[in-house]
């Protein structure tokens, strides 16, 4: 399934890696397993599985000159580097997909407003060099693009607070309650998944919270040191909102015009209805936060469960209408 953190056991990726590995190892007799794995961005186990395959590979006829590469578990030794002619071990040019993947990502990261200027410059220089080296293979990279959204000033302050390990004071807008609250937070990390968020320890709720930067109304770096408790970083690849099994269930029925709800809200199920609509079941720790959704849907949908939520949306709508009844005649 797309979106999983990525390290597929895939013959193409492994072949690609092994081709680079032979070039790399040729220059570095006795390279340490740990260092090579880090340089290649793979686990030591993955590296060892490559080292199991390489001795079965060679340039020519069977049995003649297989690569005599082995390891004592700590270092890697290649006993016959001549088995590959000097020029059979040169670094290979970038494939179109490789150039695209690296260049599109580099251009996207360069749009992050909070990126330190020196880092952005380094990235732009590197991007230009890779474009040149990739030559024609770089062409297709213009067919993909990614923009990260984030509030520049807020981003820079959060980034600095994390680097200097300092606490932050923020005024934060919560759409669920339509209110702005003040809180002190100890920032842990910045995450960009479409929008940019700071994951932090919230001193007000004494819990881990994720704050969307474009909802930060005001921010100040405090002198107090940031001291978030040791928390295990979550894998966010499945999305920032990861409802817990014990969260209350909400059932929403939408018509064709409300199908977008299934695109925006992580849900447990979305069953087709005969009129082209959907019956969507989702879980949230705070069903009251969905009152806005109920109001927004209008005739395109309604909350089925919980009933208190449905009723609170109805009474909010009635109260709102009252203002128009009065002013309507005059206005």
Partner 1 sequence: MAIAKAERLMNLALCLLGTRRPLTKRELRESIEAYLEAGSDDSFNRMFERDKDDLRELGLVIETVENLEGETGYLARRDSNRLPAITLDAEEAAALGLAAKVWQQARLAGAASGALQKLRAAGLPEDVDPYGAHGALEPRIPVHEAAFEPLMLACRDRRPVVFDYRKANAAQPEQRHVEPWALECWRGHWYLAGWDRDRGAERVFRLSRITGKVRSRAGRFTVPVPDVVTVRETVAGWAGETADRSARIRLRSDAGFPLRAKATSVRELGNGWDELEIPYGHGLDAWLVEFGPDVVVLEPEELRADVVDRLRAVAKG
User: Please, which of residues 233-292 interact with partner 1 by CB under 8 A?
Assistant: 236-237, 239, 256-257, 259-260, 263, 275-277, 291-292
Residues numbered 115-154 forming contacts with partner 1, rule: CB under 8 A: 115, 118-119, 122-123, 125-126, 129-130, 132-133, 135, 137, 140, 142-149
Among residues 62 and 246, whose Cβ is nearest to partner 1?
62
Distance CA 222, CA 208 (A): 19
With beta carbons less than 8 A apart as the criterion, state whether 46 and 18 touch: no
Q: How far is the CB of 237 from partner 1 (least distance, A)?
A: 5
> Closest by alpha carbon to 292, among 277, 306, 313, 310?
313
Distance CA 39, CA 19 (A): 14
Q: How far is the CB of 31 from partner 1 (least distance, A)?
A: 11
Q: Does the footprint of partner 1 cover residue 230 (CB under 8 A)?
A: no
Residues numbered 53-112 forming contacts with partner 1, rule: CB under 8 A: 53-54, 56-62, 84-85, 87-88, 90-102, 104-106, 108-109, 112
Q: How far is the CB of 111 from partner 1 (least distance, A)?
A: 9
Number of Cα atoms under 13 Å in the Cβ half of residue 266: 10
Among residues 115 and 250, whose Cβ is nearest to partner 1?
115
With beta carbons less than 8 A apart as the criterion, state whether 48 and 33 touch: yes
Q: How many residues sit close enough to partner 1 to count as binding (CB under 8 A)?
A: 135
Among residues 70 and 149, whose Cβ is nearest to partner 1?
149
With beta carbons less than 8 A apart as the criterion, state whether 59 and 86 touch: no
> Using CB under 8 A, which of 74, 232, 246, 318 touches partner 1?
318
Distance CA 41, CA 22 (A): 16
Q: Angle formed by the axes of helices 11-26 and 44-53, to 10°?
A: 80
Listed ranges 74-82, 159-167, 222-230, 279-287: which one lies at the site for partner 1 (CB under 8 A): 159-167
Distance CA 331, CA 328 (A): 5
Among residues 60 and 74, whose Cβ is nearest to partner 1?
60
Q: Does the footprint of partner 1 cover residue 14 (CB under 8 A)?
A: yes
With beta carbons less than 8 A apart as the criterion, state whether 301 and 258 touch: yes
Does residue 306 have a cis peptide bond before it, meaning omega lies within 30 degrees of 0? Answer: yes
Q: How far is the CB of 307 from partner 1 (least distance, A)?
A: 10
Listed ranges 39-47, 205-213, 244-252, 280-288: which one lies at the site for partner 1 (CB under 8 A): 39-47
């Amino acid at each position: 399934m797309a979106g999983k953190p990525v390290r597929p056991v895939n013959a193409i990726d492994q072949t690609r890696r092994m081709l680079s590995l032979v070039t790399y190892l040729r220059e570095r007799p006795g390279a340490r397993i740990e260092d090579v794995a880090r340089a290649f961005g793979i686990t030591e186990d993955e590296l060892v599985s490559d080292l199991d395959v390489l001795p079965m590979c060679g340039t020519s006829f069977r049995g003649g000159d297989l690569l005599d590469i082995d390891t004592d578990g700590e270092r890697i030794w290649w006993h016959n580097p001549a088995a590959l002619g000097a020029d059979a071990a040169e670094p290979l040019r970038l494939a179109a997909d490789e150039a695209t993947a690296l260049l599109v990502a580099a251009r996207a990261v360069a749009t992050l407003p909070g990126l330190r200027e020196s880092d952005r410059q380094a990235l732009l220089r590197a991007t230009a060099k890779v474009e040149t080296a990739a030559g024609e293979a770089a062409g297709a990279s213009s067919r993909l693009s990614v923009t990260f959204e984030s509030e520049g000033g807020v981003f820079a302050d959060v980034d600095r607070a994390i680097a200097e390990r300092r606490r932050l004071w923020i005024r934060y807008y919560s759409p669920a309650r339509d209110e702005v609250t003040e809180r002190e937070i100890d920032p842990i990390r910045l995450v960009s998944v479409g929008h940019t968020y700071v994951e932090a320890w919230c001193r007000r709720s004494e819990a881990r919270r994720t704050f969307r930067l474009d909802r930060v109304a005001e921010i100040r770096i405090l002198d107090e040191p940031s001291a978030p408790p040791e928390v295990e970083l979550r894998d966010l690849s499945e999305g920032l909102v990861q409802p817990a099994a014990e969260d209350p269930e909400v059932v929403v029925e939408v018509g064709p015009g409300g199908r977008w709800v299934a695109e925006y809200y992580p849900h447990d199920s979305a069953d087709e209805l005969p009129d082209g609509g959907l019956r969507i079941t989702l879980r949230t720790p705070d069903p009251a936060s969905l009152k806005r959704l109920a109001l927004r849907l209008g005739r395109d949908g309604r909350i089925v469960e919980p009933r208190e939520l449905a009723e609170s949306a109805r009474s909010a709508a009635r109260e709102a209408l009252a203002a128009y009844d009065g002013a309507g005649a005059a206005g």
